[in-house]
Amino acid sequence: MSVAYFRTPVGIARITEEEGFIASVSIRDEEYDIEPAPTPLLQAAIDELNEYFAGTRKQFTFPIKQEGSEFQQQVWDELVQIPYGTTITYAQQSNQMNNPLAIRAIASANGRNNLWVVVPCHRVIGSNGSLTGYAGGIWRKKWLLEHEAKVMGVGQTKLDF
């Protein structure tokens, strides 16, 4: 496993590569030494994430693969379908998955997502518009949603955050 760290506007991101795939992207509060990426794939991921934060990239193209159950994989596949700059509720996600009674299980799978920003669980909100349950911290979820809204030219979103 190879690892790279890079600075984002909301903290230090840690990216791991395993067997030719980006396996995780996580955000950290701690400081880490920022050094050149040890592999071309890690550098490609850093470049695309920097483009996301610059507002010039809305979809990621590097190969990803995270470990999880079949159900978790289905939940994560659904997350990558959420368009940039938009949000859905957990209830909407469960309905899109034809599993309206699985809201809590879906929320739990969202929380186990290891590909921060790339698999955009930050775009899923509570039914009342609240910013609920985000491993990176609610303030980061708010920042990401506001960033995407700004890039889309929406300005202040209609969500109450």
**How far is CA 80 from its chain centroid?**
9
Q: Residue 104, class by beta-carbon neighbours within 10 Å (0-12 exposed, 13-18 middle, 19+ buried)?
A: exposed
- Kindly state the tokens that stand for 160: 């109450």
Partnered with residue 15 across adjacent β-strands are 4, 25
Catalytic residues: 121
Q: Which two tokens stand for residue 152?
A: 């889309």
For the residues of 14-68, what is the DSSP string, one character each?
EEEEETTEEEEEEEESS-------SSHHHHHHHHHHHHHHHT--SS--S-B----
